Amino acid sequence: MGYSGDIGGIEYELGAKTLERWLIKPEKKMNVSLGIPREPANDERRVALSPAGVKILVENGVRVVVENGAGLASNFPDEEYAEAGGQLTDSPQDLYGNANVIVKVSPPRLEEMPLFKPGQMLISALHLGSVSNSMIKMFLEKNVTAIGFEFIETRDGELPIVRTLSEIAGSLAIQTAAKYLETGYGGSGILLGGIAGVPPAHITIIGAGTVGMFAAQDALGLGAQVTVIDKEINRLRRFEAFFNRHIVTAIANDHYISELARISDVMIGALSPKQKLINPIVSEEVVRTMRPGSVIIDVSIDQGACFATSRHTTHTNPTFVKHGVTHYCVPNVPSAVARTASFALTNTLLPFLMKLTAHETITDILWNSHSLRKGAYTFKGYVTQKPLAEITSLPYREIDMLLATG
């Protein structure tokens, strides 16, 4: 009896160990070579990853190639990237030629498009409001898997990279508004928070999202009067609760927009519908009724525009005046504080970049990562985001269908 039990024990032990070896066989991993190019646009001062982020990736087996000068505008010298384990190159051709994943901040420009090679992955912003048909066509022809910051979404519906950059944009909107209200910048000469005996400026924020929340927070902190308008009553209720009723809220209809435009010193466009191109909510006729020297900050410009009078501006030439109103319509607002924005971008991007090392192919990565799968806007020669397909009239397929069919 004891003999039989021993044999059974041996058989069980051998069987379990054999099964264990079979089930836990080592997985093949993709050898990730990640390229961080220098942003060619003069107004883009951010870099996708700080030296600290590069160090973490290198320690986890990722080869990181950094173009010389990529971090200089964010005050990250080349030496810091070299010390972090990054390999420096002064040739964009060499960087793109030796990387299977490109991570950058702004969408590729015309001069960067020939540098992409077939089968690469790109992770960057897209900016639906200024999307280039030629860029998307190039991605489809070269089978580039492109992932947009604004599409990366967690399972709870959060857009983590958009949120991080929106927090910065909201705070900067108030900082910028305060500057352009000054007399020397052609403003009405009003101190945002006022002083004893002199009323503060009145600020209207259009959009009760992350940009709106941080803009309202900073404006209240400076002592301004703040009104927030939005089409969704539940979002306004959350704002009232969060700010303990220290702000005024109103539904975003034509009546309230017209009334508020006449009394506002600053109007901030902070609409950010998920993954959509927005249409102006404030007409040119309404802008005409604003006070001379008042200020419009259109943070929504990278997804369309919140004001009918808005047009793209740059950090070099950030404003224009129309109907006596100063317009600030810079798409990449966080670039004004490039170092802070680059640190914030690194913190948010790193968890997603680490997922690249866990699987053998790009298809496997997208199949196993909900967030990166949601972020893809081109894959296997198709556009995989419906709003983008509608803008470009290029062939669209749901990414889940493409993955399911291999």
d(CA 351, CA 357): 11
Options 43, 78, 127, 298, the catalytic residue: 127
* Contact call for residues 406 and 362 (beta carbons, < 8 A): no
Q: Give the number of residues written for the chain.
A: 406
- Cα dist from 153 to 104, 107, 147, 331, 353, whole Å: 18, 19, 11, 21, 14
DSSP state of 107: P
What string of DSSP letters covers 21-83? HHHTPPPP----EEEEPPP-STT----SS-HHHHHHHHHTT-EEEEETTTTGGGT--HHHHHH
- What is the SS3 assignment for 160? helix
Q: Which of 43, 265, 298, 302 is catalytic?
A: 302
Amino acid, res. 38 = R
Q: Tokens 């299977």 label which residue? A: 100
127 is catalytic: yes
Q: Is 302 known to be catalytic?
A: yes
As annotated, the active-site residues are 127, 302
